[in-house]
Structure 1
Amino acid sequence: MGHRVLIAAELQGLLEPDQLVGLDVTWLSAPQPTPPGDYVAIVPLLSRWVGGTELKHLPQLKIVANCAVGHDNVDVVAAELRGVRVTNTPDVLTDATADLTWALILACARRVVEGTALVRSGSWTGWHPELLLGIELRGRTLGLFGAGRIGQAVGRRAVAFGMRILYTARHPRPAFEQHTAAVRVELSRLLRESDVLSLHVPSVPETKGIMNADTLRHMKPGAILINTARGDLIREEALALALEQGRLGAAGLDVYLEEPRIHPRLVAAPRTVLLPHLGSATLEARRQMAAIALANVQAVLAGDPPLTAVFG
């Protein structure tokens, strides 16, 4: 009998048999509560909370191998106190998420969703010089609120579009600046000068609700707001109001405060591109995420350090 482990059932089709060698797997479906027992590992998705209660009911647990780059769904402090390792899957979804960020930027800038809706509705009457006019990105300013792996990947892609790049981060990014000519600025300037503002910060107490009525009011008129990071960074009602009033040019969102629920005013708001959390939704990224999560499990169960520990 192998080591007893809990793995999110959604990962079943992404894993190869050799990745599960030595494991006695219980596949855990999304609505199913985390069962108690002598499991030594759990591989959850972001949608499953693993907190103090769950850890208490899993006394043999050695690792929470989160299949995500974030770990908002894990009580890391409680895990550390119990000697449980917490890991994530960084790097592998960087390009996938950066690509999707750019899909949103382009869709907003060129009004792709509105154009598709017009054609499908049968209302298109032919070419017109002022039909669904968008904006060109060359010479405009991309603002990156956060310059970690994904933020920098988005910025590197902006070079090909001839954009000026500003970023806000706790620490300078010299290599990124050298490659892209990006300039590190305070948030106030980022809001004021960005034609496209893209969010790439984690959900922590200082950033939750950071894009609220006040910060949205200080954004450049007609700017585009993009969020592929965390849903709770934005006050959705305030964003809907800014769009309704025409203060913002558009918003492209892949994450929301209460997924899968989206604020109804945001759904109805003009000039929005709304996606169902597709940031890492490529076959390549999802397979690599699952592989890293299982590699972390196998390493810890073999008595080795995990590959991608959240804390040391």
Structure 2
Amino acid sequence: MTLLTPLIEQRADPFIYKHSDGYYYFTASVPAYDGIELRRARTIAGLKDADTVMVWRKPDEGPYSDLIWAPEIHFNQGAWYIYFAAAPSREIKDQLFQHRMYVIRCQDANPVAGHWEFLGQIDTGIDSFCLDATTFSHQGQLYYLWAQKANDIAGNSNLYIAKMDKPWRIASEPVLLTKPEFDWECRGFLVNEGPAVLHRNGKFFITYSASATDENYAMGLLWADENSDLLDPKSWTKSQSPVLVSAPEHKIFGPGHNSFTLGEDGQTDLLVYHARTYTEIEGDPLWDPNRHTFVKPLRWDENGMPVFGSAALAD
């Protein structure tokens, strides 16, 4: 039994991308929520002490001037893109948690040292709270996957998918894939958020996070055959039980908002996620900085399904 320790402390919503240049790129929500930080290294372990660069800072005012959440870096159609959520200034009454999704682009080879340009909002056609966008490609088609509130569905957010015709533009109607419905998705808040995609063994897998961002936070799983219509909700099967939960016996709480990357051997799938190491949060949990980045191997069973194991154990 090997107990995990944080790879990077005080970085929530972690995203690690391994590029064809041999580098790992890391971004996450920073404690001040005031911009987008990048670091890169040749190894996963090297990310811990890698130089950090704030590649984009929020403006002082306006619709995307506060609470910069959950950035993800992707290399789509020959350029770098970071998708993130941002809210209007809190100085504006009732604007807290009115996030919308935005994108910035870098066309240089090294995104840490390169120039980033703000491209604007990703419009889903639904004007409501939204966040946690990710992208993936299949058979030449780029897809957008995110969390958003629906006025006719109880709760804070559901997961939606759509096609993109450009890395900054949705090209089809949003399709609802999952909403909070099981008890473990509705503790504290009714939430489905933080989707991540993995394509393995003839299937697409989507992990997501549910419930409040305390010790109740947990991860769920959807999967679909790779040859099915990924925009058809009937193509997807949803696990009735969570796949990663708190491990209080080892003081790991609220694992979630994950991403996937490949190990340095180019074969081992790695699960990247954040978790807390205590539950005694003083004040608003939003401003408690101690959600740490963890990384562990993802295992597979004989049926080609992922085995997540304990949030506290490497094996």
Could you tell me the TM-score, scaled by structure 1's length? 0.27
Greater gyration radius: 1
Which structure has more helix as a fraction of its residues? Answer: 1
Could you tell me the TM-score, scaled by structure 2's length? 0.27
Which structure has more strand as a fraction of its residues? Answer: 2
The structure showing larger relative contact order (alpha-carbon pairs under 8 Å, at least 6 residues apart) is: 1
